[in-house]
Amino acid sequence: MKNNNVLEKNYREYSISKKYIESLKDFAKVLEENYSEKVNLSLQPNTTKNIAFSSLNEATLFAARAAYSNIFEVIKNREIYIMFQHLWLIHTIKNVRNMELVKKIIRLNKWYVLVQGNSLVDKRCKEDYEERFNAKIKLGVKCAPLGNIVVCGDIIIESFIPKKLMELTEKVFNSATDRFDLEWIENYTKLCYLDKYKINARITRNKELAEQIKENVMKHFE
């Protein structure tokens, strides 16, 4: 056990090493974050943290849990600025026990959303979001060529979508014409939950950069 840094010798006695205690603390922290509905993110001003997801639903799940945990201080800031490739069917998000609470938190805020897509899905989601969450949304705006951007207070969340996944997303969203048939629902489900793609996200805390993005978004709502 001494060779594995579990025990350390003090004079003639052995005791649990400080290094092993610290490793247990780190392990417990990771375990708690992985299996908790809440998200813990320590982000100091002018710093950045990188996160990777393996599917669109996993990335969306993180956003829902983050809202529930209030790590982006959405209750305090009240205004959210977004640039998306497409709008998503929020009621399809899986594995969030407190989704109803997340929806209540969403309704507390003012949403200003620019969407690059202008498909039937985007139009239907726009109607639902505006009615349910009192969001202000503009469709067909060339704003998010590499992925999605969300700004809340001084925090910027950028997700970078692989080219192949972006192309597939365009294909699925634009394939819905006048109704959402079973084939479309099957393709959408596969896109969100079954297909595995590495999605890299960057979370930055920078007040000046956040203000610049907010200003650019609000120009479309003047």
pLDDT of residue 213: 93
H-helix segments, the chain: 18-35, 56-69, 74-77, 99-107, 120-133, 163-175, 182-189, 207-218
Backbone angles phi, psi at 113, to 5 degrees: -125, 125
Alpha-carbon distances, residue 184 vs 5, 65, 188, 189 (angstroms): 56, 27, 6, 9
pLDDT at 57: 79
In the prediction, which pLDDT does 220 show? 94
CB count in 10 Å sphere of residue 123: 17
pLDDT attached to residue 30? 43
Question: Tell me, what's the pLDDT at 40?
Answer: 52
This prediction's pTM: 0.73
86-123 pLDDT per residue, tens: 998 765 555 555 556 666 666 767 889 999 999 999 99
Segments in the chain below pLDDT 50: 1-4, 6, 27, 30-39
User: Hey, where are the domains in the chain?
Assistant: 1-29, 39-221
Residue 101 has a pLDDT of: 61
Task: Please list, residue by residue across 64-75, b when 16 or more beta carbons sit within 10 angstroms of its beta carbon and e when fewer do.
Answer: bbbbbbebbebe
Q: Can you tell me the distance from the alpha carbon of 74 to that of 94, in angstroms, rounded to the nearest whole number?
A: 22
Q: Candidates 3.30.870.10, 3.80.10.10, 3.40.50.1980, 3.50.50.60; correct CATH number of 39-221?
A: 3.30.870.10
Question: Residue 77: its pLDDT value, please?
Answer: 57
The residues, any chain, with a CB within 8 Å of residue 174's CB and separated by 6 or more, are 119
Phi/psi for 148 (5° steps) reads -130, 150
The torsion angles phi and psi of 34, rounded to 5 degrees, stand at: -70, -30
What pLDDT shows up at residue 4? 45
pLDDT at 11: 59
